[in-house]
A and B are shown apart, each in its own frame.
Chain A
């Protein structure tokens, strides 16, 4: 029994990781459906109106990204007259997420949008919601052993492979297609970052023969990024570029470069963040940010859950597009990704 469960989990993660070497596909090898295809029609809205449906947003953490996903979901739910009755933050804690689910179920939501913090621990945690007949729409991660259609309505995720690939293409273009780069990856068993990090590495290795990854450094605590980057630069002072797994540790990497007086090493990172974008528009080390369309993710999750509620067929695996933001496209990029204006400091520095 134990072995079977572990094997199933390993098999699922193996499928995910091998499949995403070429493109983003679902846990069972499902073909990705573009999020733009998941839209509520006027007839759907009319059918949902006045039913008193309720929704809960049970997130894994709090962040700018989660806020944008929540905003997309809340707007779509509001359009359909669905009330959001609970919003939670599990702080990446599996036990807290289980408690959050139990508490939210008391408010009797019809749809739950969530990012399961861990496939193994989440499987039991969401079981009561499945038993209660709630439409579950997951963001980027799937509880182990869950079956589409019976246990959950859909998984919605970023085009993770494209995010890593676009980061690789952006950095390669910035350093002229040749040179030495450092790879700062998220050293945790976390699907989203693992896929993006590995996609960057595999694209550099396969598409750019003149670029060599000479330094690899795992990171778990963004607060330690500066010291890790300083050590990397000390051992490799001639780095042409550095990939940083997401924007928060990129702040620390930037601090290390500034402390070393280094204006040559290019940085590419993922997700939008004000300090990193400011460096980019000022012509600093940052050459590009690859973002996901977080607002669109939330909108598509809400729409998928409501379609499930209406008894319509919902594709198992839905993907929102990736987006490369450079100094020239920062205003449009912010709108497209987070559905709001770029920070004033960034716009005024352009």
Chain B
């Protein structure tokens, strides 16, 4: 040990300091700030910094952030869920249909139907992965298609209006003390997710399972139950995202959530969660999700063509993921 130390060339103080700081933890925050500053300067005359626009970004990213929290738990346990986008649509449609059937109890039945559908799909995914030990990638690839098919057939592709003012107020269109309900949902979900992930025994069990499932099992962690639970958390949160979409659009449609899959996975990975488990961050996922929303917003306001927006967005995500993964492998 000492021989090695003396043989090694003396590292510069700056290098030593940089090596001590785990840059990977901060990549998403540094990236977020850099991109924010860039847009703030370039788009200073295009309304980027207006309160209306900044609130827009928060509102637009709320459902994706909620989905991202669920994915942090699933990925941290060493599994993956590809079906949450489809779950969003089914949950929104179930909620809308339940409310149309029982308009007098719109909020409770809508909530129960939407979250219930999400939990059920999560439980099915979880059961197949946890008890039958099928690979989660393949299970959720299959249920993604299955659930999307159910969403399409539920209403024969028709959109269902959601008109109950209390429901749309709570889930998407309203505000409390001037704070939009979508922002409140985001804050509550992120805070709850962060506490459960970082401060509870369950959170530690999720990470231990993802880090080394066999070791976790030997040390007494009920790995099967952990796996089932993370999929149910993912499903339930996808259900909540479906309710938020239904409230915000005042309608439910089979396409809701369809395009969110890749955005949410990118947000979570950029936010510091490992694809193969054992490490993650709920706050990082929030910032990753905001970063994705800010990119969409800023590139549109820059007046770029749609193709150019896609190219620039792709390049920025590539750089963010490359930096993030490079740091992780050190």
Contacts and interface: CB of A to CB of B under 8 A. Distances in A.
Contacts of B164: 1
A99 B295 CA distance: 13
Contacts of A107: 46-47, 301, 303
A248 B289 CA distance: 34
A123 B163 CA distance: 12
A85 interface: yes
Interface size range of chain A in the complex: 35 or more
B163 to A, nearest CB: 5
B249 interface: yes
A1 B60 CA distance: 27
Interface string B265-281: 00000000000000000
Interface size class of B (residues with CB under 8 A): 35 or more
B255 interface: yes
B256 A103 contact: no
B56 A87 contact: no
Nearest to B297: A103
Contacts of B307: 62
Interface in A282-297: none
Contacts of B250: 121, 123-124
A196 interface: no
B245 A95 contact: yes
B50 A87 contact: no
A62 B306 contact: yes
Contacts of A1: 103, 163-164
Contact of A121 (B47, B99, B159): B159
Which residue of B46, B56, B249, B303 has the most chain A CB atoms within 10 A of its CB atom? Answer: B249
A87 B305 contact: yes
Contact of A100 (B53, B159, B248, B300): B300
A205 to B, nearest CB: 23
Interface string B225-243: 0000000000000000000
Interface centre among A84, A87, A123, A125 (most CB of B within 10 A): A87
Nearest to A119: B159
Contacts, number: 114
Contacts of B160: 6, 120
A85 B161 contact: no
Contact of B249 (A5, A84, A95): A95
25 contacts: A2-B161, A6-B100, A62-B306, A84-B303, A86-B303, A87-B300, A92-B255, A93-B255, A94-B249, A94-B251, A94-B255, A95-B245, A95-B249, A98-B249, A99-B297, A104-B300, A106-B52, A106-B53, A118-B251, A118-B253, A119-B159, A121-B253, A124-B173, A124-B249, A125-B249
Interface of A: 1-2, 5-6, 9, 59, 62, 84-89, 91-96, 98-100, 102-108, 117-121, 123-125, 144, 188-189
The 8 closest A-B pairs by CB, nearest first: A120-B159, A106-B47, A99-B60, A89-B306, A124-B250, A189-B157, A121-B251, A106-B53
Interface of B: 46-48, 50, 52-53, 56, 59-60, 63, 99-100, 103, 156-161, 163-164, 173, 245, 248-251, 253, 255-259, 296-297, 300-301, 303-307, 309
Given A6-B160, A121-B249, 13 more contacts: A1-B164, A2-B99, A6-B100, A9-B161, A87-B303, A87-B304, A98-B248, A103-B56, A103-B301, A105-B52, A118-B159, A125-B249, A189-B158
